[in-house]
Amino acid sequence: MNDWAPLKRVTQARIGLARAGAAVSTRELLEFQQAHAQARDAVWHSWDAAACGAQLSAAGVTSAVVKTRAPDRATYLKRPDLGRRLDPESVKQLLALRSDPPADVALILSDGLSATAAHEHGARTVQALAKALTAANLRIAPVILAERGRVALSDEIGHTLGVRVAVIVLGERPGLSAADSLGMYLTYNPTPGNTDAQRNCLSNVREPSGLAPQLAAARLTALVRRALALQLSGVQLKDDASQLLP
């Protein structure tokens, strides 16, 4: 009897690996190499933001594509700071989108470190978020699709749009058990210079192996409402799922 079998059925972690003498079995080795290749592809592949925008438009969600100061994927990976800033033309573009009065929430989608995640789950997740935020009587700005963005990019985007809360959804760093995971980061009063201590995060958003977009949207929307009520986010805003879910 394989004592690891019950645990292997409920986790994607690499546990109880079969062995052949002093080494892992050929099957386990090949599966590892495949997972490693998928993770590398997720990091290096480009994301078609315009195609994602077309998907959102078909679902009735308005969006706009912006760029960061990282001109290509290689630069983006070597210079994280460039992925935290918009290029000058994109700043002008966002200023033109700013409403009066400003919207409550800026909703941003980026490829981040996994174009695979943005491609596979990005549009559905953003649609679920837009629907949940609107149902909560929150006004959202046009969805911003940011190519080669980092988490802190949400500060500049939110600040430029003048919103009270910025939410960025982006591909998380791939692992050897998940190359298509999205993370959501919420920041109250988005301002350049904010630290990660001022953000809340929901991670592993991906169906069917992680958090479903609809459930993630419900939790994130509840967090946004609490952030607005308490006028804070980050370590001071506790993510108690039992209280956040309806």
Angle formed by the axes of helices 49-58 and 123-135, to 10°? Answer: 40
Q: What is the pLDDT of residues 74-106, one digit of tens each?
A: 999 999 999 999 999 999 999 999 999 999 999
Please state, in angstroms and rounded to a whole number, the distance separating the CA atoms of residues 246 and 241.
10
Degrees, nearest 5: CA angle 47-224-56: 35
Tokens 């001071």 belong to 236
Please state, in angstroms and rounded to a whole number, the distance separating the CA atoms of residues 55 and 231.
33
* Arithmetic mean of pLDDT over the chain: 91
Domain extents in the chain:
43-244
Cα-based distances in Å from 228 to 93, 189, 216, 242? 26, 9, 18, 19
Degrees, nearest 5: CA angle 77-55-47: 15
* Pick among 1.10.3720.10, 3.50.50.60, 3.10.150.10, 3.40.50.11240: CATH of 43-244: 3.40.50.11240
Q: What is the pLDDT of residues 153-197, one digit of tens each?
A: 999 999 999 999 999 999 999 887 788 899 999 999 999 999 999
Q: Name which residue leads in pLDDT, 210 or 190.
A: 190
Q: Kindly state the helix (H) or strand (E) to which residue 168 belongs, with its residue range.
A: strand 165-171
pTM value?
Answer: 0.88
On the 0-12 / 13-18 / 19+ scale of CB atoms within 10 A, 224 is: buried
Torsion of CA 163, 168, 169, 170, to 10 degrees: 150
